[in-house]
Chains A and B, each alone.
Chain A
Amino acid sequence: MEELIYKLKEEIIDVLNLEGMKPEDIDENAPLFGEGLGLDSIDALELIVLLEKNYGIKLKNANEGKEIFKSVRVMADYINEHKTK
């Protein structure tokens, strides 16, 4: 799981263009939106694309993202459970 968390942090930094940020800078338990990384609605859409492209996970509706994107750890748990590739 820790390996997946680290890989996921790298992917998030890459797809969201988090300039100057390293995986170590992201607290896997901190909220991704709001106070955490301060991501916005476009970033949420990019994360939905990331889930599909890298892990073969298609969200049935965007509202599911609210739960899945609570933190990197929650996201990694979800990927572990639902990934198809």
Chain B
Amino acid sequence: MEQLFDVVATCRISDKEVLVNQESILYHSRENEQDWLSTIYHHIGLQYPKFFKMDRLCKAGILGAELLLKDYTYDHETVKDDWGIILMNAASSLDNDRHYQETISEDNYYPSPAVFVYTLANIVTGEIAIRYKIGGESSFYVMPDFDEELMRELLVQAFNADPKLTHILYGWANVDQDQYDVRMFFCKRRGNIKTSINNPS
């Protein structure tokens, strides 16, 4: 089958390390008093105050997207209808759901709208879309493990279904308590768009 797309950037965020294009850029030092995601935020020089309002899943997704795109030349100002997002994880929004449950477990509790809005896993795709002005299709799947074969099928389907789609930010973004497993990728449709669509295989 003809390869429809090329992976142009990869990133990985684990509990211990951050890798971009398979090169380590940061180790997690336990001496650092900041939480791990804030440490990464400051290390890469991200300037996005909304980051601090997000739950951990969205923070991890934004950091993954930033690591993938920071060296890529693209139009930062215009909404890109030809870019899409496909993400998966296993824990859904459980990390934040648990946090929200804690906030409403006390007597005379006051539910926090800012915590409640993150009690859906696919909010992370929306936050990435807003930050990077991605206006194409987005989808989020909750799976037991990162099924790379299924992901590849989804990418092929997405590129075949939408002739104008040129880039997809995709991967696995799993966060539960202090356990981080982010494996994100950025791919670009190969060659001439019409040629790829007219000759899918």
Inter-chain contact A18/B113, CB cutoff 8 Å: no
Cβ B114 vs Cβ A52 within 8 A:
no
Question: What is the size, in residues, of chain A's interface with B at 8 Å between Cβ atoms?
Answer: 13
Interchain CB contact under 8 A, A46 and B114? yes
Q: How far is the CA of A76 from the CA of B63 in the complex (A)?
A: 37
**Is chain B's binding surface mostly helix, strand, loop or mixed?**
helix
Check: B110 CB closer than 8 A to any chain A CB.
yes
* A39-56 contact mask (Cβ, 8 Å, vs B): 1 or 0: 000110110010011000
Is A64's beta carbon under 8 Å from chain B? no
Does A30 touch B at the CB level, under 8 Å? no
Closest-CB distance, B157 to chain A (whole angstroms): 34
Contact of A42 among B49, B51, B52, B117 (CB under 8 A): B117
- Decide yes or no whether A19 CB sits under 8 A from chain B: yes
Asked if A49 and B113 sit within 8 Å, CB to CB, the answer is yes
Could you say which residues of chain A place their CB within 8 Å of the CB of B51?
Answer: 19
Residues A3-21 near B (CB distance < 8 A): 15-19
Chain A residues with CB under 8 A of B117: 42
Which residues from 57 to 116 on chain B have a C-beta closer than 8 Å to any C-beta of chain A?
Answer: 110-114
CA distance A46 to B114 in the complex (A): 7
How far apart are the CA atoms of A37 and B31 in the complex, in Å?
Answer: 33
8 Å CB contacts to B: which residues of A36-85?
38, 42-43, 45-46, 49, 52-53
CB distance from B55 to the nearest CB of A (A): 11
Residue tally, chain B, CB below 8 Å to A:
10
- B53 contacts the other chain (CB 8 A): yes
Contact A52 B110 (CB under 8 A): yes
B49 near A53 with CB under 8 A, answer no
Interchain CB contact under 8 A, A16 and B110? no
Q: Are the C-beta atoms of B53 and A49 separated by less than 8 Å?
A: no
What residues of chain B lie closer than 8 Å to A42, measured between beta carbons?
53, 113-114, 117
B110 touches A49 (CB 8 A): yes
| B43 smallest CB distance to A (angstroms) | 15
- In the complex where A16-B53, A17-B52, A19-B52 touch, is A43 in contact with B114 (Cβ < 8 A)? yes
Distance in angstroms between the alpha carbons of A38 and B51 in the assembled complex: 14
Could you say which residues of chain B place their CB within 8 Å of the CB of A19? 49, 51-52
Binding site for B on A (CB under 8 A): 15-19, 38, 42-43, 45-46, 49, 52-53
